[in-house]
Structure 1
Amino acid sequence: MTVSFHVRSKSYPSRQHPQAAHVNEQLTRLRSSEAASSSSICQGLTKLQDLHDSLEKMIRLSITNHALSQEQIEKLLDGSLKILDLCNISKDALSQMKEGLMEIQSILRRKRGDLSSEIKKYLSSRKCLKKSFQKVVKNLKVGQNKESQESLAVFGEAEAVTITLFQSLFSFMSGSKACAKWSLVSKLMNQNKVTFEGEANEFTVVDLEFQSEKSLKIEDVQILESCIQDLEDGLESLSKSFIKY
């Protein structure tokens, strides 16, 4: 997952490029954020989209100034394609869960159908998804960028922050009682792991209610469906940005 940058540019001056400075400001805001709720993750996805839009401008400047070789450009694009894959994995999982929730809500509203069967199907699907999320998170690695050229090192920094967000997103969708703080990115870059702290989220609440149907509240199911829709919208916008990128 990690993209290595070994840039030896003669075209960029030693001082930081203004566009790189702007990207660094965006990175600073992202690092100080916490992905502990659906709203904060959605906000993070929006910030990531803005960040990668700025990175696109940097790449265009780098190409114009011959600061990047073809090999380096291909590495950047390869990293972006891998992140786009994470967007698609997340969207597919959310779509699958939303479809199950809609079936359950339909039975609850009509008061017809096999509710227990649909709930068991949903929980079984959730179990499979959790395993797949764990596998994805395990394979995600945040690399430590050692590039001395600040104007180009921001690409590696951006990748680290982006991966940290997806680690939090997959944990959140798993129904973890915690999501990683983005401020842990500096530790992640050295340790390649996430520490979780926090309270139960929308996914956890519904999972627990489905395991004990007597406590089932349609309001909580609707809240979760709304949460999923918000995450889907954020991921869709981010995906479009990466496709353009």
Structure 2
Amino acid sequence: MAPSFRVRSNSFPSSLHPQAAHVDEQLSRLRSSEEASTSSSSSICKRLDNIQELHESLDKLIRLPVTQQALAQEQNKKAVEKLLDGSLRILDLCNISKNALSQMKEGLMEIQSILRRKRGDLSGEVKKYLVSRRSLKKSFQKVLKSLKIKQDQQECNDKSLAMFGEAEAVTMALFDSLFCYMSGSKTCDKWSLVSKLMNKNKVSSETQVNEFTRVDSKFQSEKTLKMDDVQINQIYSLT
């Protein structure tokens, strides 16, 4: 799974900088939400919002003089290198998810246009979309596999730096859930995250199945395909 950082509590000062304490509270909430996470759009989208807020807080934390001093210490060199590597992995995951959603959005919008105009090569576009989906699924599976590779735990004496490691871990866990959903995994079939990402209207998690799986299934019978089957209002948040 995603890397985690262990912290030696006996090395910490008795009190944290207010910004560090705020980040610590956010991490606690995220850990709790992850443990209590349910298969619902509201749950995972709330985690997405919390992750965004966490990284905004981390940006403020890293600018503090005390954090800059910790980053410069020789004893923290290996921990800092791991954090930098983790940041690059998270950036890669952001780009992969954004590009994948954009690619699928373009394909669905083209099919939607053909259905609306009632002319064009619907069969060809559907086949193109399904080929693209199969390719993306393989990519998602590779990503999921890489996320599940066990990472060595890195001890860090500085709690502020250790928080960055914990933030990486919870962010990786969320991407694991996201790519699981986007691949159409059965373990995520009850999640309706895409409705939240693609539509402004609120969708009941109890009545909505995985939208990727639903669209893939509808495209198997293109002669009965309707506008409602590929309805998209707007993609936001990730694209």
Q: Which TM-score tier does this pair reach, normalised by the shorter chain?
A: 0.7 to 0.9
* TM-score (normalizing by structure 1): 0.73
Matches within 5 A, 1:54-65: 54-61=57-64, 63=66
Cα deviation per residue 1:81-103 (whole Å; 9 max; x = unaligned)? Answer: 22111111111111111111011
Moved more, 124-133 or 144-153: 144-153
**Alignment-derived partner of residue 26 in structure 1:** 26
TM-score by length of 2: 0.74
Q: How far is the alpha carbon of 1:218 from its aligned partner?
A: 1.7
Q: 1:82 aligns with which of 61, 78, 89?
A: 89
SS of residue matched to 2:98: helix
Which whole-Å CA distance do the structure 1 matches of 2:126 and 2:110 have between them? Answer: 9
Q: The residue matched to 1:86 in structure 2 has which SS?
A: helix
User: What CA distance in whole angstroms lies between the structure 2 residues aligned with 1:155 and 1:130?
Assistant: 30
Residue 239 of structure 1 is matched in structure 2 by none
Identity percentage of aligned residues: 67
Measure how far apart 1:212 and its partner are.
2.0
Equivalent in 161, 164, 169 of residue 170 of structure 2: 161
* Cα shift readout 1:125-167 (whole Å, capped 9, x = no counterpart): 1001000000011011464564464443221111111001111
Give the aligned partner of residue 109 of structure 1: 116
Shift of the 4–169 alpha-carbon distance from structure 1 to 2, 3 Å rule, reads closer
**Out of 49, 55, 60, which is 1:46 matched to?**
49
Contact 1:91 1:235 in 2 (8 A): yes
Task: Return the offset for 1:2.
Answer: 6.1
Going from structure 1 to structure 2, the CA distance change for 1:61 and 1:73 (only over 3 Å counts) comes to farther
User: Which one-letter code corresponds to 1:169 in the other structure?
Assistant: L
What is the aligned length?
Answer: 214
Q: Give the superposition deviation at 1:210.
A: 0.6
Q: Distance in 2 between matches of 1:38 and 1:204?
A: 15
5 Å-filtered alignment, 1:137-152, equals 137-141=144-148, 143=151, 144=153, 146-147=155-156, 149-152=158-161
CA-atom RMSD, angstroms? 3.4
- In 1, Cα distance between equivalents of 2:163 and 2:69: 17
**Mind listing any 5+ residue stretches in structure 2 that lack a counterpart?**
190-207
The change in CA–CA distance for 1:162 and 1:132 in structure 2 (over 3 A counts) is same
Query: Shift of residue 41 of structure 1?
Result: 3.5
Matched, 1:207 2:207: no
Q: Equivalents in 1 of 2:24, 2:143: separation in Å? A: 28
1:35, 1:168 within 8 Å by CA — same for their partners in 2?
no
Q: 1:119 aligns with which of 96, 115, 126?
A: 126
C-alpha contact 2:104 2:129 (8 A) present in aligned 1? yes
Shift of the 164–179 alpha-carbon distance from structure 1 to 2, 3 Å rule, reads: farther
Q: Do the aligned partners of residues 212 and 136 (structure 1) sit closer, same or farther apart at CA in structure 2, a change above 3 Å counting? A: same
For 1:164 and 1:3, how far apart are their aligned partners in 2?
9
Structure 1 pair 105/61, CA: closer, same or farther in 2 (3 Å)?
Answer: same
* 5+ long unaligned stretches in structure 1: 181-198, 237-245
Aligned partners of 1:12, 1:68: CA distance in 2, in Å?
16
Higher mean alpha-carbon deviation, 169-178 vs 203-212, is at 169-178
Q: What amino acid is the match of 1:133? A: F
Q: 2:115 & 2:70 partners in 1: Cα distance?
A: 60
Counterpart of 1:25, as a letter, is E
